[in-house]
Amino acid sequence: MKEKKIQLYSLATPNGQKASIALEEMQIPYDAHRIDIREGDQFTDAYVKINPNSKIPAIVDPNGPDGEPLTIMESGAILIYLAEKSGQFLSQDPRIKSETLQWLFFQVGHVGPMFGQFGHFFVFAKDTCEHPYPIERYTKETKRLLTVLDRRLEGRDCLVGEAYSIADIATVPWVNCLVNFYKASDVLGIESFKNVERWRALCNDRPAVKVGAVVCPV
């Protein structure tokens, strides 16, 4: 009997791209369902059953570890699950695995929230928040995080060890967002983060990243 595909519920935001890029990289069959968060799709009763927090992405694996369907919310948890399911992009070497998870959680806990707040005030709240503090605060923090990434990528093609991993998959969509969606290259001085830009180009040149980035288009 043919196995059913993973069901992806997403939108091509940075967090959504993390899941679709991972599925493409791992060559896991899936069906994509577009959840338009601007139209409130995430608050429907049907979607809240899948993700009680009403965020994207989420997946449903009809063939969970026990053979029963498994629903997963939170992009970081999705990446770990898919990596373990496929046996790809998460080393089994204890030290490298630990480092990979550290950099994954660095993205989840710092890069995503801070870059997102920067984008909110830089792009969406310009006409409603005249106080300079939010822009100054999140610009400074975004630059600080880019500096952390740049130092980490000195002499490296990927964030951990010598192999592309779920840490790279998680992080590159957010750096791309600063450039492509927020249009903040000049404000942040993106070109000065040469290691980040070199790494970003390498990641973006991967066929699976090109495909996964446009699944469930915004």
Structure tokens given for 194: 């040469």
Per-residue model confidence as pLDDT tens digits over 181-207: 999 999 999 999 999 999 999 999 999
Handedness of CA 202, 203, 207, 213 (dihedral sign): negative
Q: What is the mean pLDDT of residues 144-168?
A: 97
pLDDT on residue 2: 52
Residues 6 or more apart whose Cβ sits within 8 Å of residue 201: none
Confidence of residue 1 (pLDDT cuts 50, 70, 90): very low
- pLDDT at residue 13 greater than cutoff 80: yes
**CATH 1.20.1050.10 occupies which residues in the chain?**
94-206
Average pLDDT, the chain: 96
**Level-2 CATH architecture, domain 6-89:** 3-Layer(aba) Sandwich (3.40)
Q: For residues 143 and 66, what is the distance between their CA atoms, to the nearest angstrom? A: 44
Domain 94-206 has CATH 3.40.640.10: no
Per-residue model confidence as pLDDT tens digits over 71-121: 999 999 999 999 999 999 999 999 999 999 999 999 999 999 999 999 999
pLDDT on residue 126: 83
pLDDT on residue 130: 86
Whole-prediction pTM: 0.96
% pLDDT > 70, the chain: 99
- pLDDT at residue 175 greater than cutoff 50: yes
For the chain, give the secondary structure using H, E and C.
CCCCCEEEEECCCHHHHHHHHHHHHHCCCEEEEECCCCCCHHHCHHHHHHCCCCCCCEEEECCCCCCCCEEEECHHHHHHHHHHHHCCCCCCCHHHHHHHHHHHHHHHHHHHHHHHHHHHHHHHCCCCCCCCHHHHHHHHHHHHHHHHHHHHCCCCCCCCCCCCCHHHHHHHHHHHHHHHCCCCHHHHCHHHCHHHHHHHHHHHCCHHHHHHCCCCCC
Q: For residues 211 and 53, what is the distance between their CA atoms, to the nearest angstrom? A: 27
**CATH 3.40.30.10 occupies which residues in the chain?**
6-89
Instruction: Please answer whether residues 22 and 78 qualify as being in contact, where contact means their C-beta atoms are separated by less than 8 angstroms.
Output: yes
